[in-house]
Every structure is written in C-alpha cells, then in structure tokens.
Structure 1
Amino acid sequence: MGAPIQPRFLACGDTAVTVEFGTEIDDEVNALCLAFDEALAAAAIPGVVETLPTYRSVLVHLDPLTIDTAGFEARVLGVLGGLKRSTAQPKRWKVPVVYGGEFGIDLEDVAARHGITANEVIRRHSDRIYRVAMLGFLPGFCYLSGADQSIALPRRTDPRVKTPAGTVSIGGVQALFASVEAPSGWHLLGRTPVRNFMPDRDPVFLVGAGEEVVFEPVDASRWDELDRAAAAGEPVAEEIAA
C-alpha cells in the first residue's frame, strides 16, 4: 500500500481511542477507515470491545483491564502493516424515493435557490451513484458521498425539531438517507419507505458502510403499498448489478 500508514491516536477517556486517518471528507480516507475496521475485526485483538468507523477515523472501545492504550497502538501498527483494501465490487442498492410535496417539503425551495426547476433537482439528485461513507448520528443513518455539488446548499439556519423517518436530504457537500424520525437541519428533497434500521429484522441494517446507493424516483401513489411492505420487513430497496 506504499508508504507506511501513520494514523493519529486520540484518547477518548480511559476506555476508547480514536484512530484518525485524515481531517477531511475524502473517499480514499474513508475507504482506508473501512478497510482498517474490517482488518481490526479479523485480528480479534483481546480487549477490543467494539469499533465505530466514520468518514475519517475509527473509534475503538477497549476493555482497559485487558489491554492498555500503548499495547493497543502497537497492535494497530501491526494490523496496518498488513492492511489490504478490498477489491471486491460493493453492493449497490436501488432505493425508491417519492420526491417533493409532503414527502420533500424543501424541494421547491432548493430549486428556486438554484434557479432551476424541481424536476431538474430531482434529475440531478437521482442521477448519481452514492457511496455510503458511514452510518451515524442515529442507527442506520446513511451518510453519502458523491452528491451533485450543483444543487448543494449550506444546512438550514433554523433546524427542524422533527423530520420523518426515511427522509432523503442534502446539507453542505453531503447527502443523507435517514432511517428514523429525528431533528435535522438538512434540506428535505423526498422520502423513502425503506427501513434501513429494524432491530427485529435480520439483517438489522440493510444498507451498510462502503456500499452504494442509487435513488429511483417513484410516484406518490405507490407510497402506501411500498411503506406497508417495508413495515412488514421487506427490503423494498433492490440490490442491483454495479
């Protein structure tokens, strides 16, 4: 993998360490985080309790009675020395979205602020292959890289206290596929019936970090049918060929 990888180790109390690989949103850095997270799991280091990969770092929870931070850092450097990034084609999911109206209450405003039509916003937003950089904030929230910057907007100055589960939105340079009802300062373009997080389903998380998402615009008349299927545990999102 070229030059040795030299992450920063940042203590998070006495039971966790952040292993930081970069300081910006970058697909290469994120791919490194995901590869490291996978390799760390395979290494099965005693004392590693849980890992949480993000855009640019991996938070590692430790059992301090089993391993100290110095010992952990030494083991990490060993893992990084043999790290290989996956060359496998990631899963790609087609996710249905109802855009605009009550499902995407900011669509018209986003269009007006860019001087284009709502249909053009939909076209630009759905004509992308997004990469799931991380799951975060709340269970199953998909933070997506690859957003069309021609429709980007800063986050809202007046965040909403509540936005619906399944919200599909944009904010800054990012795009989002939400999972549960939550507060948000992002711009709501549409909504998907897909439940990316269902604690009683196997798998609990449908779409994972490192996978890909394409959005399929669907008519509002299909919402009830798709929403019922998703509530019953059906994926609704379709795995497609890359």
Structure 2
Amino acid sequence: MSCPIGSDDQFGPRVISQCRPFDFTLLFEDAIFAILPAGLFLVLAAFRATVLIRGPVKVTSHRLATWKLIALAHLLVFHIVQLAFQVQTSLLHTKASLAASLLQVFAVAIAVLLSWLEDQRSVRPADLMILYFFISSVLALPRTRTLWILSPIVHTQAILWTLVTVTTFLVLCLESIHKTQTVRLAYRESSKESTSSFWVRSFFIWVIPLFRTGFSTILSVHDMPDVDRSLQGDSAKERLQIAWAKSEAN
C-alpha cells in the first residue's frame, strides 16, 4: 500500500504505517526538532551577545576559537547545501520545512559570532552554546533516521544530514573544552567551579579529585578546593561593612 499524499504534512507526531514504520512526520520534525530549539536559541543568543560585547577580552590565545569557527563554518555550509537540496525535493516539503531550514542556518550563523565572543570574553565554556548543540545533535538523529528510511529517493539529503549531525556533535565537543590555561591572570579564578563547563558543574565532576583524595587519605583543610571569590571572607567582609555603614547612617 502506497503512502497517501500529504501524510508527512500533518503535525503527527506519528506518520501512518503505510508511509514508514514507527516514525515522526516531517512536519513534526520541522516544527519541534528544528524551529523550536533554533528560534529559542536565536532569542537567547541576542541577549547573551549584548552582554559579552560590553565585556573585556579575558583570554590570551585564539587557537581554540579558531578550531570552533572552522567546525561551525563547515556546519553552516552543510546546512546551506542541505537547504538547497531540500528546496528541490518535493517529497521533503511541508508547511514548515523552509522556515525550519532557514532558522537553522541563521542559528549556526549567529553561533559563529557568539562562539568567538564566548571564547574571548568568558572564562568558562559557553553554557548556551553547549545546551543548543547538545539538543540539536540529539534532535538531528530522528531526521537522519527518517531520511535514510526514505533513501534512495533522498539519498543525497540523507548523506548531507548525516554530515550535519556529526559536525553538530563535533561543535558540541569543541564548545565543551576548558580554556583555563589561556585565561589572563587578572581573570583567573581560584575556584574550579567558576571555570568549569556545563557538564562538569551539572554532574559535579569538579569534586572528583577531592573524593579521590578522601578515599586514599585523611582530608585536611588544605585539601578542600577553593571557593568562589564572592564567597570568600574578604568579599563577605566588604559587604558586611557596607551594610553596617548604611544601617548606622539610617
């Protein structure tokens, strides 16, 4: 039994079994897996970029930023080529297909600028970039599966989208790399937590050395990791003195 016309242009989420066994509709993938994360990223990236532009340069090297830009440039090219082939393939057309592809292209283009700003003006890996490309790499897998199921009709598009998925994951890995050794001395924090990536903070990986030391020997005060500068005694003393002076003035 052939696939009814317009089956993939339904929101779904599941396409009818005559088209593909247990798969999303293309419209659902375009709307939820492409438009939603890309649109949210563009909004958040605009706010984040305005904050970073006002900040000073905090690193001494461009090497990591260059590798990130190379990977993002390849990803942008793959998205543009994928868009060109998708426009020519009526099988992949939905009410949201063009908007989804264009938003993804714009998101990667903005990510190029944001990646450079985050690398040069932040002491830690970019949380927003990491979250977006992690979500994008996961959500790219269903579309990859769909295109390979539709192959050989869309064999070229399946190969291109596989390259998009792999490159997205590569960008995620590069964005997660620490840059502690290249941070200027004036901006180096004593606390590992303040310079750790999203993954290190989320899974508390930064405390593993402390656990290892505690497992092998008796812990002392000197074994404890340094806390953030804002939580240290000098900073707390300054805030307390300011609050006390205000209370006396009143």
What TM-score comes out, normalization by structure 1 length? 0.20
If you compute each CA radius of gyration, which structure gives the higher value, 1 or 2? 2
Question: Hey, which of these two has a bigger chunk of helix by percent?
Answer: 2
What TM-score comes out, normalization by structure 2 length? 0.20
Question: Hey, which of these two has a bigger chunk of strand by percent?
Answer: 1
